[in-house]
Structure 1
Amino acid sequence: MAVTASLSCIRLPLSPTTQHFPSHSLSLSSSFTLNPLQTHLQLRLQPFRSAKSTLPIIRMSMEAGVGVMATKLGMMSYFEPEGKVVPVTVVGFREGNIVTQVKTEATDGYSAVQVGYRRVRDRKLTKPEMGHLEKAGTIPMRHLQEFRLVSVDGFEPNQKLVFEELFKEGDLVDVSGITIGKGFQGGIKRHNFRRGLMTHGSKSHRALGSIGAGTTPGHVYKGKKMPGRMGGTKTKIRKLKIVKIDNDLRVVMIKGAVPGKPGNLLRITPAKIVGKNIPKN
């Protein structure tokens, strides 16, 4: 119920659970229409509105440019024109690398390009996934990944990304993927520990050994390097050189090794070089 009053000061008591906040006053110099409940809520929320948030702002890292997804085919030796032998990884492309969504600051709060890769049958996807792809007018695709950019100008849904238009021979790229899973392994293979003596009566050959004192600290510290599951994690190899782009075979040769076994999904993006394509700060 609204009441009309002419007050010089209104002071509302705080509940027992919020006594640590100071009491608040509201000075009024003229007649006004006041809803007691609304005024009470406004005064109670005033400390939270005026206090500055001290929480850190977490932002995702920006890519140096839009990238593509590809499939690892294997490794081979490549002979350069001057006769030098270079170990390369052959990367192929299946149908896809089509823009499925363009995210902007106005719609999503950040700028990114979502890309789809590897065509599959309709029954392999759920109805929400099919609806998302049909909205963009693209074919059914298995993998969707985002490339967060500073600007998304020039990108539109159902736009096909061609590797040779984004990269050229000699460029440096960052390649990420899932490493080969090796199962449960010991300390020697997993962390490159040294083995014990094999002679002189030693009974500790490949065992881990002491992992901490019993009295102090009385427990094993977190993060101690011990036997456990090895591999099967996402890894990025930075600044690999593109040696050859073969448009006829639709393959790319990248110098060095990349994560995963043949058939593994790879994410290829322009290499981040401080001061060149990303700022120094």
Structure 2
Amino acid sequence: MKGLIGKKLGMASIYDEAGTAVPVTVIEAGPCVVVQRKTNDKEGYSAVQLGFEDQKESRLTKASLGHLKKAGVEAKRILKEFRTEDGEEAIVGDVIDASAFAEVNFVDIVATGKGRGFQGVVKRYDFGGGRASHGGGWIRRTGSIGMCEFPGRVFKGKKMPGHMGSKRVTTQNLKVIQVRPEENLILIKGSVPGANGDIVTIREALKKK
């Protein structure tokens, strides 16, 4: 199963064989423990639930503690589910680390993007704004958003100022530069969504093998 929960540690640069500096994002990938195994016979689909990062039992609900103790697993802070294909076996209690990506060249990263607060349309949607001369009095504003007579309202989904960022972002086909199983680190070329310390989901790329 090519899927893990990890934590974004930050960015660095390493040198490749040609001596070129390559910018990389360092991700602490796992170790993750298998908490639950879902099958086609019982749940209707095949998947595994992984747990990441130890947590104090006092900070979990009784339902979560009961779910983890049933599997014989220590308290975990993050639980995420990964779909599996037929024939892929995983036993509850198994530990999966960065070595699972030793032969993977490209990955998809899912994370929550950085929050930018309340922003206008120029920053949020790359609007051009109004003219700066010859009577233009609205350089960084939206412009007309509605009509006078029909339909006489503003359509839903209109691009307007508002809260920017803090949304689930998936970046596809990122190249894996190095895998360091002894340190549980995966070095991925380029940037990855989220701030340093954020939880990320690492999956084998779907569109690029």
Normalised by the length of structure 1, the TM-score is: 0.70
Q: Which residue does 1:270 correspond to in 2?
A: 204
My pick for the range that moved more, 106-115 or 167-176, is 167-176
- Does residue 177 (structure 1) correspond to residue 115 (structure 2)? The answer is no
- 1:246-279 Cα distance to aligned partner (Å, 9 max, x none): 34443211011111000000000111137x6xxx
Larger radius of gyration: 1
- 1:109-157 Cα distance to aligned partner (Å, 9 max, x none): 1111110111111111111111101111111101111111222642110
Q: Which runs of 5+ in 1 are unaligned?
A: 1-64, 277-281
Separation in 2, partners of 1:156, 1:216: 62
Separation in 1, partners of 2:11, 2:88: 36
- Does residue 87 (structure 1) correspond to residue 23 (structure 2)? The answer is yes
The 8 Å contact of residues 172 and 240 in structure 1, kept in 2 or not, is answered as: yes
Separation in 1, partners of 2:23, 2:122: 27
1:144 to 79, 85, 88: 79
* Offset, 1:195: 2.3
Secondary structure of residue in 2 paired with 1:106:
coil
The 8 Å contact of residues 66 and 113 in structure 1, kept in 2 or not, is answered as: no
Aligned residue pairs, count: 209
What pairs with 1:101-140 in structure 2 (closer than 5 Å)?
101-140=36-75
What pairs with 1:36-51 in structure 2 (closer than 5 Å)?
none
Normalised by the length of structure 2, the TM-score is: 0.93
The 8 Å contact of residues 130 and 138 in structure 2, kept in 1 or not, is answered as: yes
The 8 Å contact of residues 97 and 181 in structure 2, kept in 1 or not, is answered as: no
Q: Which structure shows the higher strand fraction?
A: 2
Separation in 2, partners of 1:176, 1:228: 23
My pick for the range that moved more, 103-112 or 260-269, is 103-112
Tell me the C-alpha RMSD between the 2 structures.
1.7
- Does residue 195 (structure 1) correspond to residue 133 (structure 2)? The answer is no
Q: Which residue does 2:13 correspond to in 1?
A: 77
Separation in 1, partners of 2:103, 2:42: 36
Secondary structure of residue in 2 paired with 1:182:
strand
What pairs with 1:254-265 in structure 2 (closer than 5 Å)?
254-265=188-199
Looking at both structures, which has the greater relative contact order when contacts are Cα pairs under 8 Å and sequence separation is at least 6?
A: 2
Q: What is the one-letter code of the residue matched to 2:67?
A: H
Separation in 1, partners of 2:59, 2:184: 26
Q: Which structure shows the higher helix fraction?
A: 1
Secondary structure of residue in 1 paired with 2:206:
coil
